[in-house]
Structure 1
Amino acid sequence: MIKNSKKIVVCPLDWGLGHAARCVPIINALIDLEHEVIIAADKAPLSFLKTTFPQLKFVQLPGYIIRYTTNGRMSLKMLQQLPGLLRSIKKEHQLLQNIINEYKIDLVISDNRYGCWSEKVPSIFITHQLFIQAPYGKKWLNKINHHFIQKFNECWVPDGEGKNNLSGNLSHTKKLNATPTFFIGPLSRFSGKDSFLELKYDAFIIISGPEPQRTVFESLVAKQAKKTALKLVVVRGLPSENKIPEYLQLKNLEVHNHLATELFLGKLSQSNLVISRAGYSTIMDLAVLGKKAVLVPTPGQTEQEYLAKYHVEKQHYFTQTQQEFDLEEAIKKASNFKGILLKNQFDLSGFLSERIASLK
């Protein structure tokens, strides 16, 4: 262990696997820098990170309980659940203090967990949503967003700072006044991993996100795949599951509940294109790998709806709403879009080394 080694707790949000997946390069860099990493997570992210880093210590830190709609009117639903969300943030803040005391933590890195800050030790907030996009209550949502971000010592944005960025107005509207903010480049567990394999599948389909919409989309894909001769790989984003439901057991579907990083990359490389939600972590992965894609935003998730619109306007990726989703048409039209290929030149290890040394 190096002389200036720190005990660092990493806390990813548990809404899908995206936040946990984009923490992988940070955790790897911290390990390479010989810091001691402890992961505080819940549900699927906890399962995923335990599989990825079996050598690390883990603490269960309960996530936010959010009820999603089946009709897509999520903005109003979120506003209605705001009091409960604020209670969850207060509770996780209290639980984090226990973790800091028990494990003698020197630094907290929180990926979108608003309560994971401390007055005892420096705290970092990772987000690509400095400015939340919403049809209702946008002003108040951003007021709350900035109120919590300002409790952290620094804010790290996983995107480039210039015009050729991936998050658009979510991160590039203006600068935050109170919190030092750093653009650290896209974070993908696939950075630096090249895989060139012979094409074997028409599409690699990633089913992800919160219920009930995760299952709604999965059922839609299965129903349409049954009517085609398309050869498809489906990854369900359920690392804790062991069984495959009967409706997915089709001749032209190869279905996995979860795939470890190397296997995931291999299957993806053998696929002509990707069909997925318009989650920001997925978009970072697509950009690093240079894959063409169809983005299907989770209904009512305004961030995903904004990102899908932003990237279709830039001619990066084809998009369809879940309601209008047509598997064969999507694959056909996606080939007319150019995609993105980013070569991540950002020195993440150097950045972490510098920032950690400066935070007292």
Structure 2
Amino acid sequence: MDKNKTYKSILVAPLDWGLGHATRCIPIIQYFLDKDWQIFIACPPDSPHQALLSKEFPSATFVPLFGYDVQYAKSRAFFMPKMFFQLPRINRTIKKEQNWLKDFVKNNKINLIFSDNRYGLSHPDIPCIFMTHQLELILPKKFQQRIAQKIIYQYINQFRQCWIPDFADNGIAGALSHPRKMPSIPVYYIGLLSRLGPKIESEIVFKYLVVLTGPEPQRTILESKILGIAGRISDRVLIVRGTPNQINVPFAPENCKIVNHLPNDKMQKAFAASEFIISRSGYTTVMEILSWQKKSILIPTPGQTEQEYLGKQLHEQHYAYCFSQDCDDYLEEIEKASDFEYTFPHYDSNTYLQTMDKALQDLNISE
């Protein structure tokens, strides 16, 4: 950087539930980097999120910020009860990050704060943007959804803008991103976000690319199930474990290649060289898959109502084939996907750039 030039600076803070929030921040960070902004990234130290983002953005300044450290249950039946009992700790974490932000901005010149689903990172004196695809929480009872929405809107409305990575019309996230009641702050549908960039063409090398994501223990549970049947698949399989801070990999059958992590450029090549993508129905992965119009097989995290809702909706729209992790015969379901009639939404890779330009102009933030 030119020492004589004054640079604007942005603090980017992705939620630490799985790697999806970090990966979908990659095009956001790149946008500001291309405009010569100084980048601060807040995430738990020595975490998979820091490992991933530091490989993509070695020039960024990483600042330690504690995570929410949410733990998932091993079974569907205990998913909601376990989440419920973690709510007091989550609330304390939000209050702690509010205090953390006050201290941070006292010691650092920050022009913009960008929070991906971290509810406590708003500041009254600095423009703050909150990004989420989930304004409607999917809960067992409607009254629970109304209460939850009221609570999260109290936090969201303290930001200047809310960005939603979906289409304004015919959105892929359905009711999650298109609730009946919207926040009171300006809302911008910025289109799909994908770290992969424009689609590239390649010879198909792998029949299946398995992309493992999400918090433990469910990431490991699905990995074990996939490895258990991978040797019975007659085609080549590439497995990306989603563990960027690990070195060793488990044993895999001869038809499988297994890696802990792929940086963005290599993940692009892996997507291009694969006919099917097998993954969770996490929203970030879904955006990457649909932006490249790839055939996919989605396996929602058991009990995670957002993923189950999204997987069901995408299956009904024929955007993806979806089946339950508790399914008895993975091979049968994977084979069914070969006969599934896929269709894909129209996608313009420049939409988010144009919408971000407009949103920042509305905040009176120039380059």
**Which of the five TM-score ranges fits, normalised by the shorter chain?**
over 0.9
Residues 298 and 322, structure 1, Cα contact 8 Å, conserved in 2: yes
Structure 2 residue aligned with 1:30, among 21, 29, 32? 32
Q: How do 1:169-188 and structure 2 match up within 5 A?
A: 169-188=175-194
Residues 206 and 236, structure 1, Cα contact 8 Å, conserved in 2: yes
CA separation of 1:347 and 1:139: change in aligned 2, threshold 3 A:
closer
Residues 295 and 319, structure 1, Cα contact 8 Å, conserved in 2: yes
CA displacement at 1:33 relative to structure 2: 1.9
Structure 1 residue aligned with 2:53, among 41, 49, 53? 49
Residues 197 and 349, structure 2, Cα contact 8 Å, conserved in 1: no
TM-score, length of structure 2 as denominator length: 0.92
For the residues of structure 1 that align with 2:25 and 2:328, how far apart are their CA atoms? 31
Q: What is the aligned-residue identity percentage?
A: 36
Residues 238 and 256, structure 2, Cα contact 8 Å, conserved in 1: yes
Residue 155 in 1 paired to residue 159 in 2? no
CA separation of 1:230 and 1:23: change in aligned 2, threshold 3 A:
same
Higher alpha-carbon deviation: 205-214 or 28-37: 28-37
CA displacement at 1:11 relative to structure 2: 0.4
SS at match of 1:124: strand
Unaligned runs of 5+ in 1: none
SS at match of 2:257: strand
CA separation of 1:206 and 1:345: change in aligned 2, threshold 3 A:
closer
How far does the alpha carbon of each residue in 1:153-202 deviate from its partner, in whole angstroms, 9 at most, with x for none? Answer: 11000011002x1110001122424111111111111232x322111212
CA displacement at 1:226 relative to structure 2: 2.8
Task: Look up the match of 2:222.
Answer: 217
SS at match of 1:273: strand
Amino acid at match of 1:23: C
Residue 275 in 1 paired to residue 278 in 2? yes
Residues 320 and 342, structure 2, Cα contact 8 Å, conserved in 1: yes
Task: Look up the match of 1:207.
Answer: 212
Amino acid at match of 1:244: V
Residues 290 and 319, structure 2, Cα contact 8 Å, conserved in 1: no
For the residues of structure 2 that align with 1:97 and 1:357, how far apart are their CA atoms? 25
CA displacement at 1:225 relative to structure 2: 1.2
For the residues of structure 2 that align with 1:301 and 1:225, how far apart are their CA atoms? 25
Residues 33 and 353, structure 1, Cα contact 8 Å, conserved in 2: no
CA displacement at 1:142 relative to structure 2: 1.5
CA separation of 1:349 and 1:270: change in aligned 2, threshold 3 A:
closer
Task: Look up the match of 1:125.
Answer: 130
Task: Look up the match of 1:329.
Answer: 332
Residue 106 in 1 paired to residue 111 in 2? yes
How far does the alpha carbon of each residue in 1:32-68 deviate from its partner, in whole angstroms, 9 at most, with x for none? Answer: 1222221111221111110000011111211102121
Task: Look up the match of 1:167.
Answer: 173
Amino acid at match of 2:214: G
Residue 257 in 1 paired to residue 264 in 2? no
CA separation of 1:339 and 1:258: change in aligned 2, threshold 3 A:
farther
For the residues of structure 2 that align with 1:151 and 1:285, how far apart are their CA atoms? 30
Residue 342 in 1 paired to residue 346 in 2? yes
For the residues of structure 1 that align with 2:183 and 2:70, how far apart are their CA atoms? 30
Unaligned runs of 5+ in 2: none
For the residues of structure 2 that align with 1:101 and 1:115, how far apart are their CA atoms? 17
For the residues of structure 1 that align with 2:101 and 2:341, how far apart are their CA atoms? 44
Residues 111 and 125, structure 1, Cα contact 8 Å, conserved in 2: yes
CA displacement at 1:347 relative to structure 2: 4.2
Task: Look up the match of 1:266.
Answer: 269
CA separation of 1:91 and 1:282: change in aligned 2, threshold 3 A:
same
For the residues of structure 1 that align with 2:330 and 2:269, how far apart are their CA atoms? 22
SS at match of 1:202: strand
